[in-house]
A and B are shown apart, each in its own frame.
Chain A
Amino acid sequence: MSAVWAIIVVVVAIAAGLGGYYYGKGQATSAGKTTVTYYDDLSPSEESFMTNILIPQFEQNYSNINIQYVNIDAGSMVTKITALVQGNDVGSTLIAEDNLDIGELIYGGTGSTNYLMNLTSIAPAIQPATMIPSMTAVTNYETTAFGGTYFLPFRANTPLVFLNKTALSSNGITTAPANFTDLLADATTLGSSSVMFQGGAGDDTATEMFQWDVQFGGNPMVYNDLGDLQAMSYLYNLSKYMNPGYKQAIYSEYAGLAQGKYDILDYQWPYVYSLLTGGNTSIPAMNTNTLDVYPGPNGTGAHAAAHVIGGDVLAIPKGATNLWAIQLFAQYLLGAHAQQILMVDTGNPAVNAQAYVGLPSSQTVVDTAIEQALENPVFRPPVPWIETWVSNFYNDIFTPFVLDGTGGGAWSALVGDANAANSQMESYLSANVGSSAASQYAAGDFGPLYV
């Protein structure tokens, strides 16, 4: 009896092995073509536009180049590229990485290794002449900060606010909240569980709070100036009206707006617009009558309408081969045609100004919101310790004050948390970067970038 089982197991093993072998072989590139491996982090719906439209079109134009597309999340991409560069096995590779995670590749490993190739000489050939001004400013900034160009803006991203118009109007709210006071008033009218906020992870939460700090007139990097404190205190008050799922919500939380789990989706990236309006078949589709999107409420002061700009950048890992092919593909991705497809079909704001010309009218609502938001850009400073700033914020301020509710929202508790965050950030710099960086930090020299 067990002999029979043994035979079955062996037969299946051989079959599986052969099958896998043959399938694996079938993936190999045909001779004579150069293969460029392209890493990106796209949702399944976005992916189909990349693999079914953009890449085949490119391969048609350049019949001797084959693009191997790899879908991988931003964090895993860092570990993957790190391993490849360390193992000297990069090959012909282009990556589209998140703008915050790219810093981990620039300051990779123990903080002093740059895993990216210096693009200063080939950047002018790749980048279109019609870049959005704020994006050009980023590229210029790179030279100052890193001594050269190491990445090129590819898809800009800026958070927007999405509203369930039906739910709002049935509660007597006819206009989107224009400022934070209105937002809190509307949330009170709508009741508990009416707002969603990305409270689930360091990066996503810190990104939102960076913008709010700026809009309240503060410097997010120091955590404890008046604007920062006011923003956090406001957030605490608003959290009473948030759907409790906000504690785990990250950039992938949006479907609840269509499902009626909350009415105000406070800040999500524009890509969710196409998913809410029919792109995601597992939720009811919204339309322009039921869904509204706009840059969001304004704060006070000079930067009341500031919008944090994130997004993805193109980069080439150090040691990549067949640069000519990579260059051609990168150029294609930054061209007006590809940029427009990416913007219209996947909701990623284009960095090429040409892409905004001649857009279909169904896109008007979200495109208007994007263009408005991009008029007031603010960037996070590309310091190598930005991730520590993020986790410090999440651990020292957000978790105790908002998530745990320790101190019951008292101002003194908040001040204590914020001051602790500030001093820990300073001691971190002192132990990891140097005393000059620490004293710069103490003096408030690090702040948001306006271009």
Chain B
Amino acid sequence: MAVAHREAGLPPAPVATFWQRHREQVYPFFFVIPALVYVGYFAFYPAADAVYLSFQTPIKSFTFFNYDYNVQQGMYTWIENTLWVTAGALALQFGLALGIASILAREFRGKMIFASIAILPIGIATVVAGIAWNQILPGTGSGYANSVLAVFGASPVYWLNTPSSALAAVVVADSWKNTSLVVIILVAGYASIPRALYQAAAIDGAGPLRQFRYVTLPGLRSYLVIALLIRGAQEVNIFQLAYEMIGSYPQLLTVQVYDLYASGEGIYLASAAAAVLLGIISIFIVAVLVLGGRK
């Protein structure tokens, strides 16, 4: 450019500064930095703090004691319970949401009403949902679910009696509340799949199931990934609903963190449990991103 300038007889052009040369690439960061700093500071600092504390005790500065102790207290069971709830809830939510979204992809009478019903649970606060589900699936042998059973002449069930049924109750209650979010995301996904693909598949002789497998699912892939990331992390962190319904038995990781944290001296043990939680979530996120084939 300087050469062209000289040849044209113009005085030499000033050399562009870094800023002038890279302005278009740099300026977006100015818009982004405030939010990033805000979120980063308030989120990363406590998280790093928790991991740091997990290797401490009041009298030792680096030790695995907290992890060992937690394991002896039954941490593998807590992890197992958490994973069961996560897997069960995600399976139920995604299965149900896929069903609802595929129904909403069609036209039928009453579709608007069904669409409203499908997202209604989002508006119910978790605390409130806990109250309702405590009356539906209580541990004491009464409750509305048992009333429904009584209509069919069945005897009452103590819903929270065994660990598996208690966890299942939490899975159902949690899925009730959170399926709506997945529905919203998947409906957007369905809308993004061009009709032409279905027509082409139909012409090739594919029935509904094959169309679902070869047209719908690939089209939904990135939406499923996003929904899995959001809901998966939230699911591992499930706390309020579970605490309201089943308390401390069977034990979930988050409840254990809370129980330990609420007792002042248990903060190191709580941090160790929280660090395990963070680890699980991180692994989950990486797995979803890798398997989802994102970009």
Contact = CB atoms under 8 A, between A and B. Distances in A.
A399 interface: yes
Contacts, number: 116
Interface in A148-167: none
Nearest to A82: B264
Contact of A110 (B58, B65, B72, B248): B58
A202 B264 contact: no
B72 A420 contact: yes
B74 interface: yes
A431 B60 contact: yes
B224 to A, nearest CB: 30
A396 B77 CA distance: 12
A195 interface: no
Interface stretch (A46-54, A59-67, A263-271, A382-390): A382-390
Contacts of B60: 431
Given A200-B247, A245-B139, A248-B247, A105 B264 contact: yes
A243 interface: yes
A243 B140 contact: yes
B86 interface: no
A380 to B, nearest CB: 14
B73 A391 contact: yes
B59 to A, nearest CB: 6
A395 B141 contact: no
Contact of B69 (A193, A245, A404, A428): A428
B68 to A, nearest CB: 8
A433 B73 CA distance: 19
A385 B141 CA distance: 37
Nearest to B60: A431
Interface stretch (B113-121, B158-166, B205-213): B158-166
A103 B63 CA distance: 25
Nearest to B70: A395
A63 B58 CA distance: 47
A261 B263 contact: no
Given A248-B247, A396-B73, A431-B65, A261 B266 contact: no
Interface in B204-233: none
Contacts of B247: 200-201, 248, 250
B139 A244 contact: yes
Interface string B70-87: 001110000000000000
Contacts of A392: 73
Nearest to B142: A261
Nearest to A405: B162
A248 B73 contact: no
Given A105-B264, A384-B265, A404 B163 contact: yes
A247 B264 contact: no
Interface string A192-208: 01000001111000000
Contacts of B59: 431-434
A193 B74 contact: no
A23 B158 CA distance: 45
Contacts of B141: 193, 243-245, 261
Contacts of A424: 69, 72-73
A53 B163 CA distance: 45
Given A109-B267, A110-B267, A387-B266, A200 B248 contact: yes
Contacts of A395: 73-74, 251
A233 B142 CA distance: 29
Interface string B55-67: 0011110010100
A344 B60 CA distance: 50
How big is chain B's contact interface, by range?
Answer: 35 or more
Nearest to B267: A110
Interface residues of A, number: 49
A248 B58 contact: no
Contact of B259 (A104, A391, A399): A391
A247 B58 contact: no
A201 B267 CA distance: 18
Contact of A431 (B57, B74, B161, B245): B57
B259 A202 contact: yes
Contacts of B249: 199-200, 247-248, 399, 403
A432 B268 contact: yes
A385 B63 CA distance: 19
B265 A261 contact: no
B236 interface: no
Interface in B248-277: 248-249, 251, 259-260, 262-269
B138 interface: yes
B240 to A, nearest CB: 13
Contacts of A293: none
Interface string A229-267: 000000000000001110110100000100101000000
A277 to B, nearest CB: 21
Nearest to A384: B265
Interface string B126-146: 000000000000111110000
A256 B264 CA distance: 33
B140 A108 contact: no
Given A111-B265, A247-B166, A248-B249, 19 more contacts: A75-B262, A82-B264, A103-B264, A104-B262, A104-B265, A105-B264, A110-B268, A193-B141, A200-B248, A201-B248, A248-B247, A261-B142, A387-B264, A391-B73, A427-B69, A431-B65, A431-B69, A432-B57, A432-B58
24 contacts: A82-B264, A103-B264, A104-B262, A105-B264, A200-B247, A201-B247, A201-B248, A244-B139, A244-B140, A245-B158, A247-B249, A261-B140, A387-B263, A391-B263, A391-B266, A394-B248, A399-B249, A427-B65, A428-B69, A431-B57, A431-B69, A432-B65, A433-B58, A433-B59
Interface of B: 57-60, 63, 65, 69, 72-74, 138-142, 158, 160-161, 163, 166, 245-249, 251, 259-260, 262-269
Q: What 6 A-B pairs are tightest by C-beta distance, nearest first?
A: A387-B263, A245-B140, A104-B264, A245-B139, A244-B158, A395-B73
